[in-house]
Amino acid sequence: MNAIGRTHHKNLVKLLGYCHDGTNRLLVYEYMTNGSLANFLFKSYGGRPTWEDRVSIALNVAQGILYLHEECETQIIHCDIKPENILMTEQKCAKLADFGLANLFKADQSRTYTGFRGTRGYVAPEWHRFMSITVKADVYSFGIVLLEIICCRRVSTMAIPKDQATLENWMYHCLEANELDKLVKDDDGIDTNKFREMVKLGLCCIQEDPSLRPSMKKVVLMLEGILEIPSPPNFFSSRH
């Protein structure tokens, strides 16, 4: 709790205090006017966020995760990155919240063996295989969230053809076949070229092998346009 209390970043929800009374434990965070990113993306009565807002939100989230991984005093793996755990300010700035499942690491640690954590649909494959968990598990979760941000749709609601089996296979097919319009519904506000680049980045983040996923530092640099976003691997050939 002390380590989390010492975290300070513009893209992390500020912890104001906590209470530990017997078996009751409460965390008090700053109030976020616009609620969760889930509501902002999927239940927005004011219409879909603009493309510029989506890219800005993705960068906000990435910068918050980067701080946890590389810039705070004690390295933190969040373990439960999803739209419900990202909160929005009145100015549409996204902040990462809910460190209840977080793993803390000393300077000489980089991985842990732990029981299953996180939320189905956002957790990396290594959680299911009882492999060691590293910061790359958060990168995978971010990749799923990124795809949901740019599409303004939950990936769990996307109709994936049976012959493509998995989300990554289907999205890779849409990318290569120039059929990215299948990923969105009646969305005329998208910058097609930038949308393609964001899909590429999302696919790079959700690669099955953790070692092949980019670090959050590289993700931030790609979102800022400083690093080129590489083409994702052929998910079809990697599984056969």
The per-residue pLDDT for 24 is 83
The per-residue pLDDT for 23 is 83
Domains and CATH numbers, the chain: 2-223 (1.10.510.10)
Among the listed residues 21, 80, 187, 188, the single catalytic one is 80
Longest dimension (CA), the chain: 58
Average confidence (pLDDT) over 219-225: 98
% residues pLDDT > 90 (the chain) = 51
Average confidence (pLDDT) over 72-82: 89
Predicted TM-score (pTM) of this structure: 0.88
The per-residue pLDDT for 218 is 99
pLDDT at 111 over 80: no
> Active site includes 163?
no
